[in-house]
Amino acid sequence: MVMFAVLPAQAQTVLVIGDSLSAGYGLRQQEAWPVLLGERLKQSGYSHVVVNASTSGDTTANGLSRIDAALAANRPAVVILALGANDGLRGLSVKTLRDNLDAMVRKSQAAGARVLIAGMQLPPNYGPDYTQKFAATFNDVSKSTGSALLPFLLDGFATDPKSFQADGIHPVAAAQPR
């Protein structure tokens, strides 16, 4: 009698490259949304492994400077780019934001990964011209690169003060599953 072993599907990697919103600033590591995403994928029967390569304080320029190494080390099937908030909060150039996001998407695609861009929005005190151009950049890069778009990472709770830590910027643990 010949026995055949059924091997589990090879796990594919989902690589998250983000800032403090993805790194889980102010939270226990297991409370950050990328960890919860990995758990949800596993519970849903997917063999994907989520690698959180997010760093608090990162801008798109920081992400661009480290994406090659992250792609080589992890060989992801999917890359989630959740950067840009710090660019906006620092009032950095929207053109630079666009160029950096575009370059990260194209590098990820060249490495064989599908890309999801997690968009960001700014509070109105940055002025309507800047905030509109900033928010539109994520959609523009998504369209020009054929990548997927989550229009706003904090959608559904951005205006709820109870969903944020005392700094008013970083979501609490209870908001992470959203």
Active site residues: 20, 167, 170
The sign of the CA dihedral 17, 22, 25, 28 is negative
Nearest to 36 by CA among 54, 18, 24, 20: 24
CA 34/CA 118 separation, integer angstroms: 12
- Return the SS3 of 92: coil
User: Which sign does the torsion angle of CA 146, 57, 40, 110 carry?
Assistant: positive
Beta strands in 30-134 (DSSP E): 49-52, 78-82, 114-118
